[in-house]
Amino acid sequence: MTVIDVDIAPGDPLLVFLQSAPGPLEIAALPAHSPAVVRMKEQDVRLVVPLVTSGEVVGMLALGARRSERTYSRDDKRLLDSLARYGAPALRLGQLMREQEKEARDRERIEQELHVAQLIQQQFLPSALPELGGWHVAAFYRPARTVGGDFYDLIELADGRIMVVTGDVTDKGVPAALVMASTHALLRSTAQIASSPGEVLRRVNELLIPQIPMNMFVTCLVLVIDLETGRTRFANAGHNLPYIRRGDEVVRLEARGMPLGLMPGSAYEEVEAVIEPGDIVLLYSDGLTEQHDAAGEMFGFERTHAAVAAATGGDDLIDRSVLALAAFSGGVEQEDDITLVTLHRSRRGGYDETVAFVVPSELGNEREVMDRVASIVGEALPPSRLDALRTAVSETAMNAIEHGNRAQADLDVAVTVRRTPETVTVDVGDFGRGRRTPRETPDLDLKLAGLQTPRGWGLFLVEELVDRVEEFADGDRHIVRLVMRTAEPAAEERGS
């Protein structure tokens, strides 16, 4: 048997011809100028049977000469015609399944790419925010489904000042994540040799231009803050301008400059301001201001301004912005990454205390940790929030003793408690390596059915009871940080 090999190009006149054909056709009856017909004639095709279903040509049968050398009879053609009528829908079904399989493979590839982009991006976001004496830093980051290139960072400079950067790479997916990673690395390394924000941006721009793909650029804002005096120098490469809440006023810090990666030789205006005690600063990406609602309207600057005006603290400002955005967008899918960073400088006279102690890793000492933390925190938290913190601290200390230090009494568990007017932070440090396997979410139905162990509530309780849990390494210590705001959150749910 010889296999006839013929492709029909999308524009081939044979397609239109087959679509309206009543049944099997002699090769001589087909349009002679069709490249597919020419090719079939070369292979001695005698008869063509169109496979049509729902008015669409899904294929054809091309037959060579009969073995008997006789022409195809009327009965042969009738048989082939009914074969085509039954075969065409089955063939179409097979084609659809193949298309769906291909789509599923493509989707999987895209999901995989998004996952890689997310991993790259999250790698470069700070895993924990530093505790800055007299200042409270809070951050919120929520990636869009398509992954943009938002980033933020806090870098301690050699002279003790803090450099705060936020940025946004145009474009999405892996390319944006890679440019973000590269920009982030350039900013960090440049901050070691230049501490003026305008100069940092100028140098990063020059370094970025040779490596950034065409049509991509990076907006970026750099603030260098003297924590003692609040004196702040800042420069801007086309990023959203930060807001400051000062008493009853809301002001915007303004500085001009081209986005990074666009034009060599760009200079960046540098402006100085003082962040006064009590001031709250908001840095934000355009994922906030440019989110649309169902009617196509943008969240915009006025609503952002209103959230800043009503804020009572940095965490509160983040909560307000996120809630206002959720209420505004009303279920419309998030279009871009959203990054919010707030800096709140304590008022003069505001306390900022740190107390540290250690306990040996002996089972039961978690209660001692809990009681000591509670007495240090005292009235900084309302009673219900103090109770929640007590349980979370006891669970965290128990994990540190039992799992982190494997109950070896000669290894201590280090506890640090910091109180600021806005938050209580408890760090619990052990010598373990942290959780290496993902936690199984406790499910009471499964537990009661004997399908899950009755245990496994510890981390669940911790995460449910405090406002934020962070985990990071500090030298040879593994630290779990519990953060509790001194006031009730603006709403029950927070997406950080």
Partner 1 sequence: MTLAFELDMRGDTAAVRLTGRIDRDAGGILEHAYVAASAVGPAAVELGFDDVDYINSSGIALIVGLLARARAEGLPVRAAGLTPHYRHIFEITRLSDFIEIVVQPAPH
d(CA 130, CA 137): 7
Site for partner 1 contains 391 (CB under 8 A):
yes
Site for partner 1 contains 219 (CB under 8 A):
no
The residue within the footprint of partner 1, chosen from 460, 472, 477, 496 (CB under 8 A), is 460
The residue within the footprint of partner 1, chosen from 29, 327, 358, 444 (CB under 8 A), is 444
Site for partner 1 contains 489 (CB under 8 A):
no
Site for partner 1 contains 466 (CB under 8 A):
no
In whole angstroms, the minimum distance from the beta carbon of 407 to partner 1 comes to: 12
* Number of residues located near partner 1, criterion CB under 8 A: 24
Site for partner 1 contains 85 (CB under 8 A):
no
Site for partner 1 contains 394 (CB under 8 A):
yes
The residue within the footprint of partner 1, chosen from 305, 447, 477, 494 (CB under 8 A), is 447
CB closer to partner 1 out of 231 and 447: 447
Site for partner 1 contains 400 (CB under 8 A):
no
What is the widest separation between alpha-carbon atoms in the chain? 108
Neighbours of 320 (CB within 10 A): 19
Beta bridge partners of 72: none
- Contact window for partner 1 (CB under 8 A) among 62-70, 272-280, 449-457, 486-494: 449-457
CB-based contacts of 278: which residues, under 8 Å, 6+ apart?
246, 247, 345, 346, 347
In whole angstroms, the minimum distance from the beta carbon of 384 to partner 1 comes to: 7
In whole angstroms, the minimum distance from the beta carbon of 387 to partner 1 comes to: 4
CB closer to partner 1 out of 44 and 387: 387
In whole angstroms, the minimum distance from the beta carbon of 437 to partner 1 comes to: 18
In whole angstroms, the minimum distance from the beta carbon of 372 to partner 1 comes to: 15
Q: Which of residues 224-263 bind partner 1 (CB under 8 A)?
A: none
- Contact window for partner 1 (CB under 8 A) among 18-26, 28-36, 390-398, 413-421: 390-398
Site for partner 1 contains 382 (CB under 8 A):
no
Q: How many residues are given for the chain? A: 496
d(CA 121, CA 4): 52
Site for partner 1 contains 440 (CB under 8 A):
no
Return the ∠ at Cα 385 (arms to 406 and 489), rounded to 5°: 115
CB closer to partner 1 out of 247 and 450: 450
Site for partner 1 contains 404 (CB under 8 A):
no
In whole angstroms, the minimum distance from the beta carbon of 381 to partner 1 comes to: 12
d(CA 37, CA 60): 12
Question: Is residue 222 within 8 Å of residue 195, measured between CB atoms?
Answer: no
The residue within the footprint of partner 1, chosen from 130, 382, 454, 495 (CB under 8 A), is 454
The residue within the footprint of partner 1, chosen from 458, 466, 481, 486 (CB under 8 A), is 458
CB-based contacts of 363: which residues, under 8 Å, 6+ apart?
398, 401, 402, 407
The conformational region for residue 271 under phi > 0 = left, psi -120 to 50 = alpha, else beta, is beta
Site for partner 1 contains 446 (CB under 8 A):
no
d(CA 160, CA 38): 81
CB closer to partner 1 out of 301 and 460: 460
The residue within the footprint of partner 1, chosen from 29, 274, 358, 363 (CB under 8 A), is 363
In whole angstroms, the minimum distance from the beta carbon of 443 to partner 1 comes to: 9
Q: Which of residues 296-315 bind partner 1 (CB under 8 A)?
A: none
Site for partner 1 contains 384 (CB under 8 A):
yes
- Contact window for partner 1 (CB under 8 A) among 26-34, 177-185, 325-333, 388-396: 388-396
d(CA 447, CA 141): 34
The residue within the footprint of partner 1, chosen from 99, 440, 464, 488 (CB under 8 A), is 464
**Residues interacting with partner 1, by CB under 8 A?**
363, 366-367, 384, 387-388, 391, 394-395, 398, 442, 444, 447-448, 450, 453-458, 460-461, 464
